[in-house]
Amino acid sequence: MAQNPKLVIVESPAKAKTIAKYLGRGYKVEASQGHIRDLPKSQLGVDVDNHFEMKYITIHGRGPILAKIKKEAKSASKVLLATDPDREGEAISWHLAQALGIDPASPCRVEFNEITKKAVQQAMQKPRPIDMGRVDAQQARRALDRLVGYQISPLLWAKIKKGLSAGRVQSVATRLVVEREQEIDAFLPEEYWDVTAQATLQTQKGRKQKFGLSLSQLDGKKVALVSQADAHAAQKRVEKASLTITQVKPGEKRKMPAPPFTTSSLQQEASRKLNFTTMKTMQVVQQLYEGVELKDEGVQGLVTYIRTDSVRISDEALAAVRNLIPSEYGDDYLPETPNIYKGRANAQDAHEAIRPTAVDRTPESVKASLTKDQYNLYRLIWARFVSSQMTPAIYDTMTLLAEGDGVTLRLSCESKRFSGFTSVYEESKDDESSVAETQLPKAAVGDAIRIEEVESAQHFTQPPARYTEASLVRTLEEKGIGRPSTYAPTITTIIARGYVAREKKRLYPTELGIMVNQLMTDYFAPIVETEFTANLETQLDSIETDRTDWRQLIDEFYPPFQQMLEKAEKDVEKIEVADEVSDVVCDKCGAYMVYKMGRFGRFLACPNFPDCRNTKPILNYIQAPCPKCGGRLLEKTSRHNRKFYGCEHYPECDFVSWDMPVQERCEKCGSWMTFKRTRKGEAWRVCSNEECRNKVPAESVDEE
């Protein structure tokens, strides 16, 4: 008589489908679809008078799922809990064990870092008890978030307006955005000038070379030009100076590759290179992790576990990539010993970095099976991983000084001699600034130079840049705020709540966000202090690793928090939030419409609600005419949240374009040009005529 199959419980149906194919007969795979139990939405759910006992209930709508799992568990020879390999996944397994009557100390938990046939089958042979350290750390986080959110949010509703919320991490993120805006508002720009010269070098061998230099010193002192008069005086001295080369300092620079991706660095690079939001990055990479149907291979998990702050990789993966590099790129691209990367000081290091599950599965080999977004993100992950184990790029550098008549000009430049890892991948930066790459002059000390042209240019010091999603994630990580799983939902929440707005990738605090932040900093200062929040994260880590009592952390947190809450409820006065009035007239009652925030962003509404319920979308016009009819063009958003451009006279005029039209005609055919940015960050103006498609370089401005 055949033994009943083993029941394997995972979180998502997509993962269940993939794993079922790997395990075959003898196993049945069911999906819990995330948590099956949680704290009730209608009440606090944390008993502050009974040592913070948590009141868990079956989540509304999950009853049928749990009933089905219980039925399958009764007839199974064994139940194995295979939820995600992190705190949240461990907690889901613990809740399932509680609901199914499984002893958490029994070998019921299986864990794998990647969804491949080998990894899954090996994990099934090595079940372990549920890690109560992870479970308790998750319970502590859940209790903290519930106590803060459910007790401050009603205060915000009563004192400011309904629908607001507060949270430990989201409040800190909002504060960071607000304080950056305050820095920008307080910034006083300072004027400065620079002087540059185009020169011709007459070498001792009779050759002529042209290159640019910058004014570095006057009469042996570093140049600091703060006015137009200073700049023009310096410019005249450079024009009259008789200059010779006094120093030629050649050198070599080695640029090392970046480590493979963590959750944070993947979100940052996908934002810079692919223009993905943090939430979109996590949605797409989740699909790659859970499994994609590949031609001739079936369903395959393409990347390792996606919520990690580790840069470590397995010995097996290291051997595979070191085998691939010389065969694909040549022996010169493989270092003698593997590149070893050190993670952040407070990284949990429970999992590997994000990497391809099979490095020989190149992006091109699976392109036909992936969506455009999946392919672009997989290519990013694959290239970053391969490049991380390649040799450094080597640059020849030169520093050159030309002096005479008290004038010192300087040139610093570099030229790539060996591409190394950059032949596969190069990391982007939010604040890109580097030495110009150019052909190095063949100059020698004593060579004379002739000044051809001198220019002076005015500049002003710039305020700190507003956060992008990428730079905010980086700051949260650097300050120890949140964990890999929290970055995307945190940013999504503060935008959805209307505390922060996103325009052209930059994050701005709204008036509402500034008000809420002021209340939080006035009455709940520790909650929004980065050091306090980071210390809580460290204590949560300690619960997991050292098995300290999670209730002790809540015991220390709650009494002072309760005092803050009582003071705020007594002292905070009602704040009237006036709606921002637009210049759009309501076409039903004649009132000026006001801006409101909805689940899909800002919209226009009549202020005479509920007597007048008229609403309108906000129309964003761009500064270019419709190429078909000459009307105005609107910036619109597709169902899949992709930006496109269409005519205001639709449907009479059906012009539509993914690329933004600009006020410029093609010099070859006369059609309108469009602005396009490539995946590499290059900016072009491209002819809209499909038969022409002439393209010219463009300034990489905020035209997106």
Sign of CA dihedral 554, 559, 560, 561: positive
How far is it, in rounded angstroms, from Cα 702 to Cα 690? 25
d(CA 410, CA 245): 10
Token pair for residue 86? 């992190």
Instruction: Give CATH 2.70.20.10 domain extents, the chain.
Output: 191-256+393-460
Q: What is the mean pLDDT of residues 402-425?
A: 95
DSSP annotation of 691: T
Residue 98 confidence class, pLDDT cut points 50, 70, 90: very high
DSSP single-letter state for residue 440: P
Q: How far is it, in rounded angstroms, from Cα 325 to Cα 97? A: 45
For residue 45, report the phi and psi dihedrals to the nearest 5 degrees: 80, 0
Mean pLDDT of 571-597: 83
Q: Are 487 and 307 in contact (CB under 8 A)?
A: no
Q: How far is CA 688 from the centre of its chain?
A: 32
Task: State in words which class domain 139-187+465-571 has.
Answer: mainly alpha
| Structure token pair of residue 205 | 């061998």
Distance CA 427, CA 524 (A): 39
- pLDDT exceeds cutoff 70 at 347: no
Helix (H, G, I), strand (E, B) or coil at 146: helix
List, for residues 260-279, the tens digit of each pLDDT value: 999 999 999 999 999 899 99
pLDDT per position as a tens digit, 205-221: 666 788 899 999 999 99
Q: Which fold has domain 191-256+393-460?
A: Topoisomerase I; domain 3 (2.70.20)
d(CA 703, CA 142): 42
List the beta strands (DSSP E) in 172-261. 191-202, 208-218, 221-222, 243-255
Residues of the chain with CATH 1.10.290.10: 263-388
Q: pLDDT at residue 181 above 60? A: yes
Structure tokens at 64: 């049928």
pLDDT, mean of residues 439-461: 90
Distance of CA 16 to the CA centre of its chain: 28
User: How far is it, in rounded angstroms, from Cα 341 to Cα 377?
Assistant: 22
In three-state secondary structure terms, 148 is: helix
Q: Check whether 53 has a pLDDT greater than 80.
A: yes
Band the pLDDT of 437: cuts 50, 70, 90: low
User: Known catalytic residues?
Assistant: 305
CATH number of 6-130: 3.40.50.140
Q: Which fold has domain 263-388?
A: Topoisomerase I; domain 4 (1.10.290)
Q: What sign for the dihedral angle of Cα 82, 84, 86, 90?
A: negative
Which two structure tokens, joined as six digits, stand for 660? 């933004």
Q: Distance between CA atoms of 74 and 538, rounded to whole angstroms?
A: 40
Which segments within 461-591 are labelled E, that is strand? 500-503, 506-509, 581-585
**Of 208, 239, 219, 198, which Cα lies nearest the Cα of 447?**
208
> Which pLDDT band holds residue 431 (cuts at 50, 70, 90)?
low
N-term to C-term CA, the chain: 66
Phi, psi torsion values for 478, nearest 5 degrees: -60, -35
Q: How confident is the model at residue 161, as a pLDDT?
A: 78
Report the pLDDT value the prediction gives residue 688, as an integer from 0 to 100.
Answer: 73
The two structure tokens encoding residue 222: 């570093």
**Position 567 pLDDT exceeds 90:** yes
Q: How far apart are CA 106 and CA 92, in angstroms?
A: 16
What percentage of the chain reaches a pLDDT higher than 70? 93
**CA-based R_g, the chain, Å:** 30
- Per mean pLDDT, which range of 107-116, 269-278, 508-517, 571-580 is the poorest? 571-580
Residue 61 is predicted with a pLDDT of 87
The closest of 600, 549, 628 to 52, measured between CA atoms, is 549
Chain centroid to CA 358: 25
Which two three-digit tokens encode residue 242?
Answer: 């008789």
Within 10 Å of residue 461's Cβ, how many Cβ atoms?
Answer: 10
Asked whether 243 and 407 are in contact (CB, 8 A), the reply is yes
Q: How confident is the model at residue 2 (pLDDT cuts 50, 70, 90)?
A: low
Q: Decide if 410 contacts 430 (C-beta within 8 A).
A: no
pLDDT value of position 434? 52
Confidence grade of residue 358 (pLDDT, cut at 50, 70, 90)? very high
Q: Does residue 393 contact residue 420 with C-beta atoms inside 8 Å?
A: yes
Question: Shortest CA distance to 125 belongs to which of 6, 30, 290, 31?
Answer: 6
The mean pLDDT value for 574-580 works out to: 75
Q: Long-range contact list for 139-142, CB < 8 A, 24+ apart? A: 139/54, 139/91, 139/550, 140/539, 140/540, 140/543, 140/550, 140/553, 140/554, 141/87, 141/540, 142/39, 142/54, 142/91
Q: Is the pLDDT of residue 297 over 80?
A: yes
Residue ranges of the chain assigned to CATH 1.10.460.10: 139-187+465-571
Cα-based angle 20, 22, 25 (whole degrees, multiple of 5): 65
Lookup: tokens for 194 = 């620079």
- Residue 511 CA from chain centroid, whole number: 25
Record the tokens describing residue 150, joined without a space.
Answer: 């459910």
The CATH 3.40.50.140 portion of the chain extends over 6-130
**Tokens, residue 523:** 């009455």
Q: Output the pLDDT for position 204.
A: 59
Kindly tell me if the per-residue pLDDT of 583 is higher than 90: no
- Are the C-beta atoms of 621 and 602 separated by less than 8 Å? no
> DSSP letters along 157-193, please?
HHHT-TT----HHHHHHHHHHHHHHHHHHH----EEE
Those residues with Cβ within 8 angstroms of residue 356's Cβ, 6 or more apart along the chain or in another chain: 302, 303, 304, 378, 381, 382, 385
The backbone torsions φ and ψ at residue 64, rounded to the nearest 5 degrees and listed phi first, read -60, -35
Q: What is the pLDDT of residue 547?
A: 83
Question: What mean pLDDT do residues 396-420 have?
Answer: 95
Query: Which of residues 372 and 201 earns the better pLDDT score?
Result: 372
Query: Is the predicted pLDDT of residue 127 greater than 80, yes or no?
Result: yes
Q: What is the DSSP letter of 114?
A: B
How far apart, in Å, are the Cα atoms of 11 and each of 68, 84, 115, 652? 14, 7, 13, 48
Pick the most confident of 70-74, 342-346, 435-439, 686-690: 70-74
Q: 226 pLDDT band (50/70/90 cuts)?
A: very high
**Amino acid code (one letter) for 333:** Y
Mean pLDDT, residues 530-553: 90
Alpha-carbon torsion 83, 88, 94, 96, what sign? negative
- pLDDT category at 203 given cuts 50, 70, 90 is low
Instruction: Return the minimum-mean-pLDDT range out of 139-153, 158-172, 200-214, 521-535.
Output: 200-214
Q: Is the per-residue pLDDT at 468 higher than 50?
A: yes
The CA–CA distances, whole Å, from 24 to 27, 297, 428, 539 equal: 6, 16, 43, 42
What average pLDDT does range 9-25 have in this prediction? 91
